[in-house]
Amino acid sequence: MIGTLLMAGLLALSAPAGGSAGRDGGTLDGFAITHVPAATGPSVSDFESEWEDVTFATRVWERETPDGHQADLRVAVLRGEGLTDLPSLREFLTEYDERETWDLTEFSKDGTPGLATETEAFWLDSPGVALTVRITENPLTTDDLMDVVRGISG
């Protein structure tokens, strides 16, 4: 939860990344996002941020709610020399999100190992380049999460 709040704070304070944000997914920092679930909110924004020598290019799909806004889907491309393998990416995200523990399952993204929860998936595309996909349950599901992951290509 704290990580989600930190991410929201970073997004609010970050400068827009520019680029081809859109309902169709578009391209984010060299990666094509070819699947956006129909239930995802209609407002799309791009942001850039940095934490601990890792840069983030993030695209967020959100919706208005009675209490403000809800980010339904976030896709981020992370770049940093310290992201050398999946264990280093996991360690970085654990610190970034201030997590004590998390229930991760393994998955394969085009033959590359990744880790996922019911609402988040991450993998290393190549040394120094990683991706994360996060959803908000209701309206999206774990199946939606993995459909988005499968639809990303670089």
The predicted-structure confidence for 89-145, as pLDDT tens digits, reads as follows 999 999 999 988 889 999 999 999 999 999 999 999 999 999 999 999 889 999 999
Query: Taking the CB of residue 146, how many other CB atoms lie within 10 A of it?
Result: 17
CB 81 within 8 Å of CB 124: no
Identify the CA nearest to 76 among candidates 139, 44, 31, 119. 31
The candidate with the shortest Cα–Cα distance to 43, out of 15, 63, 17, is 63
Q: Which pLDDT does position 5 carry in this prediction?
A: 38
Instruction: Tell me the CATH class for 2-153.
Output: alpha beta
49 pLDDT band, cuts 50/70/90, is very high
Q: Which residue has the tokens 């070819």?
A: 34
Average pLDDT over residues 21-39: 87
Instruction: Identify which of 103, 114, 47, 110 has the alpha carbon closest to the alpha carbon of residue 75.
Output: 47
If one compares 11 and 26, the residue with the highest pLDDT of the two is 26
Is residue 21 over pLDDT 80? no
Averaged pLDDT score across all residues of the chain: 87
Please check whether residue 104 is in contact with residue 118, taking contact to mean a CB–CB distance below 8 angstroms.
no
What is the share, in percent, of the chain residues with pLDDT greater than 70? Answer: 85
What's the average model confidence in pLDDT over 29-48? Answer: 94
> 13-17, 21-25, 146-150: lowest mean pLDDT where?
13-17
Torsion of CA 41, 149, 76, 99, to 10 degrees: 100
